[in-house]
């Protein structure tokens, strides 16, 4: 991030060449989550970090037995401060972490997120860059639906009683095509209360039952920031993912 800020074209790339209509919701800073963020209220020009998590196969598997052996998880970072024209440039995207997927499976995603969260915490308190105190905050974590559920501490199998990270609809309601109303949406308060129930369950069996009921596994490391996964995992466009669509149809969800 320091390298990005120190780049000679940083100021140019973070300035819009047009004055947006204040009545148009054209970016994060126009929304209510930006208004609620204490760091952005105190420091309107703070760095707005966006993380992206994804798995990929490093080598072509010659057989199904070899599939997944060289699978890696990658965590990337970019800044929402960049003008939309530059956000897709590779020069504005940084690799934060590269880890074997087997490690993530054994130790959990929170083990991967711990160090980046510590660094983002420091940025929230202010870090000296280019001779001035620079502040920053995390505003979103992106990825496909599997990656988003993993980062947020939600169940990744999509067969829980409440499999959606956005709403409280049951699996049966989703299969039948229920119309979602605002009152059915999940909230950060619900997330915290349900995770606390799972953590404080008297037995492991009760914890597993509650985990399946709520569609939650663990409290996300990301919630240690001025950020909450319930509001910070934007929906992924997965309609072009043939394998994922086929899987959803297999369990009775048609999209």
- Residue 174 vs residue 147, higher pLDDT: 147
Closest-CA residue to 192 (of 224, 219, 161): 219
Residue 223 clears pLDDT 90, i.e. is over it: yes
- Per-residue pLDDT band for 255 (boundaries 50, 70, 90) equals very low
Please write the tens of the pLDDT for every residue from 106-141: 999 999 999 999 999 999 999 998 788 999 999 999
CA distance 97 to 102: 15
Residue 242 clears pLDDT 70, i.e. is over it: no
Q: 130 and 101 in contact (C-beta within 8 Å)? A: no
- DSSP-derived letter for residue 79 is E
Q: 42 and 133 in contact (C-beta within 8 Å)? A: no
118 strand-pairing partners: none
Q: Where are the domains of the chain?
A: 1-145+224-236, 154-219
pTM comes to 0.84
Question: Once rounded to an integer, what is the mean pLDDT over residues 158-187?
Answer: 87
Question: Once rounded to an integer, what is the mean pLDDT over residues 228-232?
Answer: 94
What six digits make up the tokens of 239? 């309609």
């Amino acid at each position: 991030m320091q390298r990005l800020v120190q780049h000679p074209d940083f100021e140019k790339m973070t300035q819009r060449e047009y004055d947006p209509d204040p009545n148009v919701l054209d970016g994060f800073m126009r929304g209510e989550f930006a208004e609620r963020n204490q760091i952005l209220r105190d420091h309107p020009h703070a760095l707005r970090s966006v993380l992206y998590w994804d798995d990929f196969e490093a080598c072509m598997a010659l057989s199904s037995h070899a599939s997944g052996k060289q699978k890696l998880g990658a965590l990337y970072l970019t800044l929402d401060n960049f003008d939309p024209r530059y956000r897709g440039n590779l020069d504005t995207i940084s690799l934060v972490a590269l880890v074997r997927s087997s490690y993530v499976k054994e130790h959990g995603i929170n083990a991967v997120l711990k160090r980046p969260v510590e660094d983002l915490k420091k940025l929230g308190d202010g870090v000296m860059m280019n001779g001035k105190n620079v502040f920053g905050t995390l505003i979103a974590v992106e990825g496909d639906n599997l990656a988003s559920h993993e980062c947020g501490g939600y169940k990744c199998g999509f067969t829980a009683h409440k499999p959606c990270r956005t709403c409280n609809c049951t699996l049966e309601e989703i299969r039948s095509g229920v119309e979602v109303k605002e009152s059915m949406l999940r909230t950060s308060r619900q997330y915290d209360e349900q995770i606390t129930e799972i953590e404080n369950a008297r037995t492991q069996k009760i914890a597993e039952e509650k985990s399946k009921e709520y569609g939650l596994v663990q409290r996300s490391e990301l919630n240690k920031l001025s950020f909450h996964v319930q509001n910070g995992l934007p929906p992924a466009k997965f309609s072009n993912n043939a394998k994922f669509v086929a899987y959803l149809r297999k369990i009775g969800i048609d999209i």
